[in-house]
Amino acid sequence: MRRTRPVVLAVFALLATATPAQRPLKVFILAGQSNMEGKGAIKHLDTLIADSETRASFAHLKEGDKWGERKDVWISYQRNKGPRMNTGLTVGYGSNKNKIGPELGFGHVVGDALKERVLIIKCAWGGASLKENFLSPGAGGPGSHYTRMMEETRDVLSNLKAYFPAHRGEYEVAGLVWFQGWNDAVGKGNPRYTEQLAQFIRDVRKDLERPELPVVIGELGQAGPNPTKKKPLTFRKQQEAVAKLPEFKGTVRYVKTGVFIDPELPEMFEVWRKCQGKARKAKDPETKKAAWADFEPLKAKWESKASDRPYHYYGSGRTFYLMGDAFGRAMVALLAKPQ
């Protein structure tokens, strides 16, 4: 027993002086459906970098005229189609090569905050529900996506050296970000969502042998910061209730996302929607062209900020980056607390 303390002190001294590559790799799982896949247009980031008012917040994403790639933050993702991608954190890890998801903002925040190298494993596939696809074993599953999430996570962790040749030493599963909900909120909803998400967290912690694994829950925020309709309000309460459970105190956080929607986009989309309705009814080319008259003055601004429907946060690159940034800040706060 007398030798224990000097040995422990020596280990702590070694870790204190270790380089990022020598410290245990910090692994974060980003899971969910299409908005975790990422629908934010990369071209919007170029617009933000070119704008003097927003350049300072986004310029770090580029190295010269090319998109930067972080060497201290890695990412691994396999979309529904295509090979697994394994590189340093950069753009193009959204639902296609021209999109980003929350991983970009998240990775930059966490990478800046931690001394260790970071690995993000994305497990996100569109059109998935918690009540079926992501249903965890303790809630009556496992659903197909829950199984796939665990299989892919274990595959990456078992093949770190193959996927990331620069890896040395150990790793630690350090956190989970859950950004999902649309398929449980629409239609008749999912009255068991709170119960199922709580069990999902318990089961992930059990399967990964991390009983206090920090978890960030992203709000289903497409309705904006102050929705008036009952469905989005009800569902948000179901999500937030999980973070308020006594058993998750200090280890689970709920992060609002509706606040990151550009307030101009809902108004512009409504003009677009009305014009599209008129165009569909048009019986000749001239009438169809005239149907878009109200939207034409807004078209350039719309394309500089949006690329998709409201349920995908309008496909705004700015919104997806800022949501990821907020998830990262919440995760860093959780990691700062004693586990």
Look up residue 193 and give its two tokens.
Answer: 């969502």
Q: Read off the pLDDT band of 81 (50, 70, 90).
A: confident
* Per-residue pLDDT at 223: 96
| Dist. CA 171–CA 55, nearest whole Å | 35
* Per-residue pLDDT at 3: 34
If 0-12 CB within 10 Å is exposed, 13-18 middle and 19+ buried, where does residue 126 land?
Answer: middle
Reply yes or no on whether the pLDDT at 170 is more than 90. Answer: yes
Reply yes or no on whether the pLDDT at 74 is more than 80. Answer: yes
* Per-residue pLDDT at 17: 54
CATH code for residues 19-262+314-336: 3.40.50.1110
* Per-residue pLDDT at 210: 98
Look up residue 214 and give its two tokens.
Answer: 């920090």
- List CB contacts of 89: < 8 A, sequence separation 6 or more: 69, 70, 73, 74, 75, 103, 104, 107, 108, 111, 120
pLDDT tens, residue by residue, 197-221? 999 999 999 999 999 999 999 999 9
| Dist. CA 90–CA 79, nearest whole Å | 16
Please state the domain extents for the chain: 19-262+314-336, 263-305
Reply yes or no on whether the pLDDT at 11 is more than 60. Answer: no
